[in-house]
Each structure stands twice: as C-alpha cells, then as structure tokens.
Amino acid sequence: MQIIKTAVAAALATLALSASAMTPIQDTELSAVSGQDGVSIAANLNIKMDSFVYTDTDALDANGMGGGSVSFNGIKVQGLIAASIDILSKNSFLAAAGAAGVTNPGTFYNPASGGDVVQIAIPADVQVAAGKLLNISVDSIKMGNNAASFGSVAMNQVDLRGTQVWIWAH
C-alpha cells in the first residue's frame, strides 16, 4: 500500500511540474502577440518650499563690493501633471527627435552606436479641468538681510502638454 501511495504522489508531482513548465516561443509567434508597454504617471502636485537662497561667497573688494545673497520665499507649485515613460529603440528615438525638430542628433546622441532611450512624455491630449494646470508662485524676493521685498512672481496655468524628455547612457 505504501508503494502505491508513493507512486501516486510521484505521478501527481510530475504532472504539476510539467503543467507549469515554460515553453519557448518563436519570433514569428511573438510578433502576433499584442499588449501594452510603458508606464504612466499622474500627479496632483501641492509642493511648498519655504525658500530658495542663492549666496555669492566672493570676498569684499576694496570698494566693499562682492558677496551677498538673494532669497525667493514662499515657493509653491500646484496643479495636475500626467506623464508616460517608454523605452524607444534607436530608430524610434531618431524619428521622435526628428518630429520634434532636431536636425542633427549627432551633436548629442551617436546615431551609429547609440542604444535605447528612455522617453518621458506629457501627452498632448490629456484633458485637464479649467484652472487645474500648474501654477508656480514666489511670495517674496529679498536681498541679503533686508526685510524689504522686490515683490512676488507668479506663473499661472503652465501647460506642459506635448513635452518630451529623453534620457540615455553614453
């Protein structure tokens, strides 16, 4: 009886392993397969930064000139943004760069030996509710330790749709 149980268990284990085995697929069969590629990202940004300060560390000269700082205070970035991330082959990248108006990619990408390129794109057809595009503002701009401000800056309804960014190794 023990021998029969062992034989049945071995047969079932063999069936289970063979059912989950991977089988190779030929290129001709693979070309008929369709699916999705890439990654999509969407964000509702609500970024706040107390300040961005630039400091010139030059020593004071004989006339008391040099050094100083400027600060941008109360920085805010708010609004919706959506992007897709794809891997482009060399030929697809060169076609995309050409469509974007690049006339000589050889100045920054080697068309002969270049490889795949990562593309981050903000689709041109993304629908965004009125008033929900990016808004960027700076509450005040101050020099040094002075309490007085030069005023504020705002960039409203910044529309990045249709933007493409390409990244590759070299």
As a whole number, mean pLDDT of residues 135-149 equals 92
In the predicted model, is pLDDT for residue 20 greater than 80? no
Least confident of 7-11, 25-29, 42-46, 69-73: 7-11
Token pair listed for 123? 């689709």
Closest residue by Cα to residue 163 from 136, 124, 127, 126: 124
Q: pTM of the full predicted structure?
A: 0.60
Range of the domain at 60: 39-167
In-domain check, residue 21 = no
In a domain, 93, yes or no: yes
Query: pLDDT, tens digit, for every residue of 33-87?
Result: 666 667 888 889 899 999 999 998 888 888 878 888 999 999 999 999 889 999 9
Query: Does a structural domain hold residue 126?
Result: yes
Q: Does any domain span residue 22?
A: no
Residue 29 inside a domain? The answer is no
Say if residue 140's pLDDT is above 60: yes
Structurally, the chain folds into a number of domains equal to 1
Band of residue 28 on the pLDDT scale cut at 50, 70, 90? confident
User: What SS3 state is found at 4?
Assistant: helix
**N-to-C CA span, the chain:** 67
- What's residue 155's pLDDT? 94
**80 in any annotated domain:** yes
